[in-house]
Copies of this chain bind each other. A is one copy, B any other.
Amino acid sequence: MTAPTRRGLASLTDRPGGRRLLYGADYNPEQWSRATWREDAALMRDAHVSLVTVGVFSWSVLQPAEDAWDLDWLDEVMDLLHEHDVAVDLATPSASPPPWLAALHPETSAVDARGVRMSVGSRNHFCPSAPAYRAAALRVATTLVDRYAGHPALAMWHVGNEFGQECFCDLCAAQLRRWLSARYGDVDALNDAWGTAFWSQRYRTFDEVVPPRAAPYLHNPAQLLDWRRFTSDQLLALYREQAAVLRAGSDAPVTTNAMGFFGGVDQHSWAADLDVVSDDHYGDPQDPTSPARAALTHDLTRGVAGGAPWLLMEQAAGAVNWRPHNVPKTTAQMLQDSLRAVAHGADGVCYFQWRQSAAGAESFHSALLPHAGPDTHLHRAVRDQGRVLALLGDLVGTRVPARAALVFDWPALWAGGLPARPSDRLDVVAQLEAYHRPLWRAGVATDVVPSDADLDAYDLVVVPALPLVADRAAAAIAHVPRRGGVLLVGPFSGVQDPTTRVRTGPFPGPWTDVLGVAGEEWRPLPDAGVALRSATYGDHRAHVWSERLEARDAQVLATYDGADLAGAPAVTRRVLPGGGQAWYVSTLPDPAVLDRVVLDCAAAAGVHGPLPLVPDGVEVAQRGDLVLLLNHAGDERAVELAPGARDLLGVPVRDGVLRLPSGGAAVVAGVASAPPG
């Protein structure tokens, strides 16, 4: 018996008549009548919807009791969708087990860090370690693959939903001990890695270790970090168990939906198990930084996919309902958000959900088909968007031509979020945003990659915030300027090894040589910040953080002017003999200054965006040989393009100038060449 050939996103996008970007939504037919199903299918076709995710929360309907099954309705829905040319991403419903399971097996419900067992009546209450839960989840997955592997609508499998649960119960404690035993071999290795000599925490046996349950003061940080690793691995085991069953019976690709920078799972460690990388993204429409954050997150997701196309599995058409105050998107924002995802590598954009629920906890979450029905401003825009996406089939399968990389991974994120650090104002993701924004604004294609990624393809490597990094990864990063590239490192990076142990000696330990600097003290700043003096960037203020630093073999581009650090280096650059450059920024400079630092690094690396001049307020991004333009400004913007440029969406280009209205979008051909590979 040979394993079936595993297929990816191309199996959904590549159609006999040509390639198509996927467009769709979660669809929850169990909430509606048969008549509504028919209306839905017809409206989907009208809106060019090509993919719906079905069954994410259907367990209690599919299996209303331990030995009762009701799948006929799903047969009918699958048939109906197929008739309307809508493919199905069929979910295993394991994210929300039915009440009967909790009633029969109370241990299948999770327990929090204070010992409280979660009740039914919400969702995501399962304990990932409970054998009864795992058996039940496998049983329903098996039932689905047995019945639908061969259905013509079946295009993809979707395991669970937004993994990220934590459970502190005794079953999980036992699993944790097994995991630790496998990781460390013997308990002395654990004691050493966790530094249990401090605070009298030395363990005699693995049996004495518990999850980081409620405690009177700070937990051991290495314990907390391993807890995060264990939680991610434990959920991955749960995913793998179901994926194995699906793959044994079907050759459709298997996916699950991640949540960007959410800390619940280490996406990089999951990547090998995903046939399609999917992400859910819910930016706040009221927040002007949401577009930049979205672009960064998409660059992360593309990195998880190894640069291959990925799928935006969930977003909101209008408002969400889980913020305290939920300002909706405009329909212009709705389209811009989708096109941004495509420009950053998505081969499909989907939503939560197709038809807005009338009942349940998400009835005030927007959907593609609002309560008020199809004859509405929103749904007309949904149909328009379907038409727009249909014009962009040429993008399918193409790559983003990134020669710049930002380094980020979950162990660093987790370490940066541990308690009792020098400052909780120094935030890993906020630093990542600060260094990504100038590149995004300039339209520079940038990959977000983990610290152990292969960096050879990048001329510019930026390490905004990597407080924790392994020696080997650190060495690979240090190699970048040595082979002629440009390396830019932000403050408080390289500080800890993978066990959270601080590297003693001058910092940033693994990079003092290549950067030519030696630090000895982190000095969080008073609220007023500190003055920086710089001939290059002008005098300005920096905030939150400073470091006592010596420039041993580096040019000093800015110095501190504070009483205690007066004249000491703040920003440095070392030009290596081979022409490579190594920059260090030891503080949080004024954002405008940081933007210039980053762009100077990009220029030194010869990295630039697809257009020489982009007007203020216009977002630009290249994918394949096409260039996306989004006007965020309050009025029209004129964008100078090359002669012969044209917009695939129909905005006329006159004399090489495209006049983009406020809120408008264009996808321009003829100004860029496709990246190699």
Contacts and interface: CB of A to CB of B under 8 A. Distances in A.
Nearest to A663: B563
A11 interface: no
Interface stretch (A367-375, A440-448, A470-478): A367-375
Nearest to A168: B119
Interface stretch (A59-67, A239-247, A339-347, A595-603): A59-67
Contact of A202 (B64, B115, B201, B222): B64
Interface in A485-518: 499-507
Interface string A148-177: 000000000000000001000000000000
A124 interface: yes
A424 B197 CA distance: 42
Interface in A109-131: 110, 112, 114-125
Contacts of A209: 99, 121
Interface string A199-234: 111111001111111111111111100000000000
Nearest to A420: B321
A424 B321 CA distance: 10
- Most interface-central of A96, A120, A124, A663 (chain B CB within 10 A): A120
A209 B102 CA distance: 10
Contact of A372 (B116, B331, B361, B521): B521
A121 to B, nearest CB: 5
Given A199-B96, A210-B120, A325-B524, A221 B360 contact: yes
A6 interface: no
A410 interface: no
Contact of A99 (B96, B203, B327): B203
Contacts of A194: 359
Contact of A504 (B211, B373, B424, B564): B373
Contacts of A200: 57-61, 93, 96-98, 123
Interface residues of A, number: 121
A526 to B, nearest CB: 5
A261 interface: no
Interface in A59-94: 59-61, 64-65, 93
B121 A223 contact: yes
Contacts of A522: 319, 364
B64 A523 contact: no
A99 B201 contact: yes
A422 interface: yes
Contact of A357 (B115, B198, B419): B198
B60 A196 contact: yes
A263 B330 CA distance: 36
B328 A501 contact: no
A630 to B, nearest CB: 16
A423 B214 contact: no
Nearest to A192: B359
A376 interface: yes
Contacts of A527: 286
Contact of A125 (B117, B122, B202, B216): B216
Contacts of A328: 521, 523-524
A519 B372 CA distance: 8
A525 interface: yes
A94 to B, nearest CB: 10
A502 B422 contact: no
B524 A358 contact: no
A116 B420 CA distance: 23
B520 A377 contact: yes
- Most interface-central of A31, A204, A209, A219 (chain B CB within 10 A): A204
Contacts of A202: 60-61, 64, 98-99
A326 interface: yes
Given A120-B208, A370-B520, A110 B216 contact: yes
Nearest to A220: B121
A334 to B, nearest CB: 11
Interface of A: 28, 30-31, 57-61, 64-65, 93, 96-100, 102-103, 110, 112, 114-125, 165, 194-204, 207-223, 286, 318-319, 321-322, 324-328, 330-331, 356-365, 370-373, 376-378, 419-425, 499-507, 519-527, 544, 548, 563-564, 634, 663
